[in-house]
Amino acid sequence: MLNVIMISPGFPAEMPHFARGLKSVGASVLGIGDQPQAALEPMARASLDAYLQVQNLWDEEAVVRATVERVRGQKIDRVECLWEPGMVLAARLREALGVAGLGVEQTIPFRDKVRMKEVLAAAGVRIPRFARARNAAEVRDAARHCGYPLIIKPVDGAGSADTYTCRSDEELERSLQLVAHVKELTVEEFIEGEEFTFDTICHEGRILFENVGWYRPKPLVARLNDWISPQCIVLRDLEAPHVKKGRELGRSVLAAMGFRSGFTHMEWFYTPKGEAVFGEIGARAPGARLVHMMNYSVDADLFVAWAEAVCHGRITQSTAKKYNAAMIFKRASGSGGKITRIDGLERLLERYGEHICNLELVRVGEARRDYRQVLVGDGWIACRHPDLAFTSEMADAFGSELRIHADGM
Ligand SMILES: Nc1ncnc2c1ncn2[C@@H]1O[C@H](COP(=O)(O)OP(=O)(O)O)[C@@H](O)[C@H]1O
Ligand SMILES: [Mg+2]
């Protein structure tokens, strides 16, 4: 039996599914987290053979010490973490326990967006021009180097937080005030065009499953415009010419980063000139329900497929793409704190009901959510169809015709 350590099996939302995957392929799982065991999601609790509760998951030294102590005399086969803030901790645990997989040196370029781009630039991958900046003067310097339009964002950002597009000196000065609290920034050439994901499950550097998702619109635009219901469509046809360019880019990125086994999540742009340009990559699964959407696109359980890949080096389920699978995140409109009314759902269900695979909305009377904190916002809908145009039509209909109101008094 394989002994696997999994960091934070209870949080965020997808982790209990990955823990379930490990259990279902026969692994013995030791979970490490800062939640009390009794407070874990039932699915996570049911999937663990043992649990080590630590006081502070981010005190890496203390966690490594406590873990080494806990597993003394036991052979550990894998250390897994699919949550971005825990990637370096996982690497340190691997090194401390002599377990194969990414070490600290190899993990840093996945965590630090400047190191990431340095590694990729050295390998000749098409990335946006960029520079690191620690203060306003350095940002202005970097802006001269990059030219407009440009993007400024934190070196270790997430969820498009503190990220701004600047098209002139004036906009740059305005953005500088908004990011005054950010310690370290990168200044980048702004890449026009559509934005996609490239996601894989690998074993020993071989891609066993791959996926491409199409963001509608780009995550930054969705973050800055609260009236938008953001979508992501997991694509059925991975042979479309623009999609193939992204997949090729993805392959060169994985090779340059030296990735071996597990999930990866990359973002890339497709420009109006027909070029695929790198955005960023994580050595982990995507969040925000994207793995669920991949499942809907292939009628398989990729939480289990991931576990089988990392534990046994194969995926035995069929993962052939059958559908385009779209998810739509809803955001309430109005100035109130509570949901007052939901319009348009019945008509949408009549038209598209048979193609809907998930529908989870807030209820009338409940508090509205802050989509900057909770990406799924006030609810998410998943629908699928083999035809991409029809899938986009459904997604757009849910985006514009389903109205969630939080009217003020
Ligand atoms: N160089 C760039 N050109 C165009 N858009 C960008 C660029 N960098 C970031 N963005 C936009 O900002 C979003 C967030 O940036 P990203 O690097 O993905 O950081 P994170 O998702 O970790 O916050 C991207 O999804 C994209 O929409
Ligand atoms: Mg991103």
CA of 248 to the centre of ligand 1 (A): 20
Whether residue 375 is predicted with pLDDT greater than 90 in this model: the reply is no
Pick 194-405's CATH classification: 3.40.50.1370, 3.90.950.20, 3.40.50.300, 3.30.470.20. 3.30.470.20
Would you kindly state where each structural domain of the chain is located, as residue ranges? 3-101, 129-189, 194-405
Is the pLDDT at 4 greater than 80? The verdict is yes
Mean pLDDT of 344-354: 97
Banded model confidence at residue 145, pLDDT cuts 50, 70, 90: confident
| Among 112, 130, 145, 153, residue to substitute to test ligand 1 (most atoms within 8 Å of Cβ) | 153
Average pLDDT of the chain, as a whole number = 96
| Closest ligand 1 atom to Cα of 128 | 1
User: What pLDDT, on a 0 to 100 scale, did the predictor assign at position 1?
Assistant: 87
Ligand 1: which of 117, 129, 163, 268 to mutate, judged by most atoms within 8 Å of the beta carbon? 163
Give the pTM: 0.96
- Say if domain 3-101 classifies as CATH 3.40.50.20: yes
Report pLDDT for 398: 98
* pLDDT value at residue 356: 98
Percent of the chain with pLDDT over 70: 100
Nearest atom in ligand 1 to 192's CA:
4
Ligand 2 centroid – CA 157 distance (Å): 8
Q: In terms of residues, how long is the chain?
A: 409
Write the pLDDT tens digit of every residue in 188-205.
999 999 999 999 999 999
Reported as a single tens digit per residue, the pLDDT across 152-187 is: 999 888 889 999 999 999 999 999 999 999 999 999
Our CA angle for 255, 260, 263, nearest 5°, is: 100
State the closest ligand 1 atom to the C-alpha of 218, by its place in the atom list counted from 1: 27
- What is the rounded CA–CA span in Å between residue 59 and residue 66? 11
Which of 84, 167, 220 is the best mutation target for the ligand 1 pocket, counting ligand atoms within 8 Å of the beta carbon and taking the most? 220
| pLDDT higher than threshold 90 for residue 135 | yes
pLDDT digits (tens, 9 = 90+) for 376-400: 899 999 999 999 999 999 999 999 9
CATH topology of domain 129-189: Dna Ligase; domain 1 (3.30.1490)
Rounded mean pLDDT, 313-340: 97
The rounded percent of the chain whose pLDDT value lies above 90 is 95
Ligand 1 atom with the smallest distance to the CA of 267 is 18
Please tell me the residue having the least CA distance from ligand 1 atom 22.
158
Give me ligand 2 centre to Cα 388, in Å.
Answer: 24
